[in-house]
Structure 1
Amino acid sequence: MTAPIPAWTDVAWIFEPDGSLRDLYVLDAGPEGWQAVLDGLRALDPPSVFEIDGEPAALPARIEDVFAIWGNASPSLRWNAGEVQVNLHFFRSDDIEFDIDPADVCEPEDWQALARFILWLAEKAGRPVILTPENTPDDIQLFCRKAQDGIEVNNVAEG
């Protein structure tokens, strides 16, 4: 059975460009969730690109090693879900925070690619995933409790 993904017409409003990014959070991931997502990102096709201060680098095997880089430099990772660039900056937190440019999600195919990534994240981390406007984690627009449950739209946020 395929997890339900909302129709493009039900989510297009979320991706109307307004000058800010959208954030994807894996909630309460903890060290195990971080490691599971890191291991999964390493295996993606096309491959993700890990950088330190904007320069390509080898992705460390352990999340602790990535966090240790923060003492001297800024680690980041980017991956494309279809045409949507997904960015991870490895902020130290129990939550994993990705960002996307809503302008990248302008067609139903873009939404489908991003939705599959959201489901993948929920499955890898074994934790809920939410999408919010930039830096507003309490303003949940999309949520996925478990990958098999699919993605739900929080229409209360629709403006």
Structure 2
Amino acid sequence: MDEILNKFFYKDGSLRDIYILDTTSMDWDKLLTNFKFTIYKNGEIMDDEYIPSEQELLNGNLINVNLIYKGISFNGYYNNSDFIEFDLHPTAIDSIESLNKLLDFMKELTQETNKEIILTPESTIEEVYISVKPNETIKYNL
């Protein structure tokens, strides 16, 4: 596991990305319903019951989301593209315990969406570090 920490969570100032591919607005609905996000619309924090709509995006609103999962912060943007992306600071993954929390998060994402979840370097969707399939098979690309 130390090899995974050293190879994938090096501290160079860049983020790591978690992607859920081939998504629809229904996948966002599942995540927003089943996880406790803090949602910001144009920089303003929204009520806990607030669920963004695609129409708000069409009207030019910027909607970001933040989730603290077992002490690890994940940030993303609500959008109508065909993927969902969360940013992760590699400094948050500094032990086997925090790595296991990240893997738990990825497993929960795949359970909710029934889609493969991948961890990549920042903005590099083609270079997959870790993938979790809907059957919870974890693959490390060492």
Which bracket does the TM-score occupy, shorter chain normalised?
0.7 to 0.9
Deviates more, 1:47-56 or 1:132-141: 47-56
Q: For each residue in 1:90-118, what CA deviation from the matched residue of structure 2 results, as whole angstroms up to 9, or x when unmatched?
A: 13211111111111111222111111110
The structure that is helix-richer by fraction is 1
TM-score (norm 2): 0.87
Structure 1 residue 56, shift from structure 2 partner? 1.1
TM-score (norm 1): 0.79
State the distance in 2 between where 1:92 and 1:17 align: 31
The structure that is strand-richer by fraction is 2
Aligned to 1:140: 128
State the distance in 1 between where 2:85 and 2:17 align: 7
Structure 2 residue aligned with 1:11, among 4, 28, 43? Answer: 4
Aligned to 2:23: 29
Q: For each residue in 1:114-141, what CA deviation from the matched residue of structure 2 results, as whole angstroms up to 9, or x when unmatched?
A: 1111000001011110011111101111
Aligned to 1:149: 136
What's the % identity of the aligned pairs? Answer: 24
Aligned to 2:45: 56
**Structure 2 unaligned residues grouped into runs of 5+:** none
Large movers: runs of 4+ above 3 Å? none
Structure 1 residue 10, shift from structure 2 partner? 4.1
Q: Which amino acid aligns with 2:45?
A: P
**Structure 1 unaligned residues grouped into runs of 5+:** 1-7, 42-46
Q: For each residue in 1:9-44, what CA deviation from the matched residue of structure 2 results, as whole angstroms up to 9, or x when unmatched?
A: 242020111111111011112233222222212xxx
Does structure 2 conserve the Cα–Cα contact (< 8 Å) formed by 1:33 and 1:126? no
State the distance in 2 between where 1:49 and 1:31 align: 18
Does structure 1 conserve the Cα–Cα contact (< 8 Å) formed by 2:24 and 2:80? no
Q: How many residues align?
A: 139
State the distance in 2 between where 1:51 and 1:96 align: 16
Does structure 2 conserve the Cα–Cα contact (< 8 Å) formed by 1:52 and 1:76? yes
